[in-house]
Each structure stands twice: as structure tokens, then as C-alpha cells.
């Protein structure tokens, strides 16, 4: 292959990668409607004072999300993550934050922001769980 052929091949590969990376909206270049989320806290079934917080999208269509969260107990940060990737999230496969030892003495606070693949913050919430409580987040 000559130099011109090699240059055209490189240009085609780079152009294809750019199109795949840049064209993520609809054909008219608008973005699809934002997906909303519903939070839930549940006991793990293991230790009585362990809970898990889940966020369910109102869509059955799988999509990728980035999640930033902070979990604290009595003002002490237990876990904090910025931009954790959660691939293929759907109503059947929700976002699940790490298990938290809730305890009976101090409330647990969960701050979360969920970003869609276009960088839009589609869910932001702060939930404080009183000792021994679970339910909607």
C-alpha cells in the first residue's frame, strides 16, 4: 500500500471513530427525553443493620450512567465516589450503591447525582435514613 492509500485508510478509521463517538443523539441531533429515577432502600437480608440503596430508571431500555455519591453516617463520610460507571442500567437492572452498615444509633445520609450518557444530571437527591428504617429513597 502506498503512502496515499495508507493516509486514506487512517482518515477513514479516524472519521469512523469520530462519527461513532459524536453522533449519540437522534438523527435530527436533538437529545432524547431524560429518564427519571426512583430510589429505594432495603435490608440486605444478611446482618439486620446493613442496607443497600438502589435507583430504578423509569425505562426498560438499558443505558449507561455515571454516578457520583457520598454516603455518611453521623457526619462521617463512609464512602464517596465521583463518576462511577454503571453500564446497562434498566428497570430490571437498577443502580445499586455499596452496602452500608446502618446501625441503630446514627442516621445514614446518601447524596447522589446520576448523569446520563450525554452528561445531563437526570437525578439528584439527598436521603437520610433513620436508624432501623428502610423504604423509598
Do 90 and 57 contact (CB within 8 A), yes or no? yes
2/114: higher pLDDT: 114
The tally of CA atoms less than 13 A away on the side-chain side of residue 4 is 0
Bridge partners of 76, per DSSP, are 73
Enumerate the domain spans of the chain: 34-136
pTM for the whole thing? 0.73
pLDDT digits (tens, 9 = 90+) for 53-92: 999 999 989 999 999 999 998 889 999 999 999 999 999 9
CATH T-level assignment (fold) for domain 34-136: Immunoglobulin-like (2.60.40)
Question: Would you state the cell numbers that stand for residue 126, as one nine-digit string?
Answer: 439527598
DSSP string, 93-118: S-EEPPPEE--SSS-EEEEEEEE-TT
Amino acid at each position: 500500500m502506498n503512502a496515499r492509500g495508507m493516509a486514506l485508510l487512517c482518515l477513514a478509521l479516524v472519521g469512523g471513530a469520530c462519527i461513532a463517538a459524536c453522533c449519540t443523539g437522534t438523527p435530527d441531533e436533538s437529545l432524547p427525553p431524560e429518564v427519571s429515577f426512583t430510589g429505594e432502600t432495603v435490608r440486605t437480608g444478611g446482618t439486620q443493620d446493613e442496607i443497600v440503596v438502589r435507583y430504578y430508571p423509569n425505562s426498560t431500555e438499558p443505558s449507561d450512567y455515571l454516578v457520583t455519591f457520598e454516603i455518611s453516617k453521623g457526619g462521617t463520610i463512609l464512602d464517596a465516589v465521583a463518576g462511577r460507571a454503571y453500564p446497562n442500567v434498566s428497570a430490571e437492572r437498577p443502580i445499586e450503591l455499596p452496602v452500608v452498615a446502618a446501625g441503630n444509633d446514627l442516621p445514614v445520609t446518601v447524596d447522589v447525582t446520576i448523569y446520563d450518557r450525554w452528561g445531563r444530571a437526570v437525578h439528584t437527591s439527598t436521603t437520610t435514613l433513620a436508624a432501623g428504617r428502610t423504604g423509598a429513597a
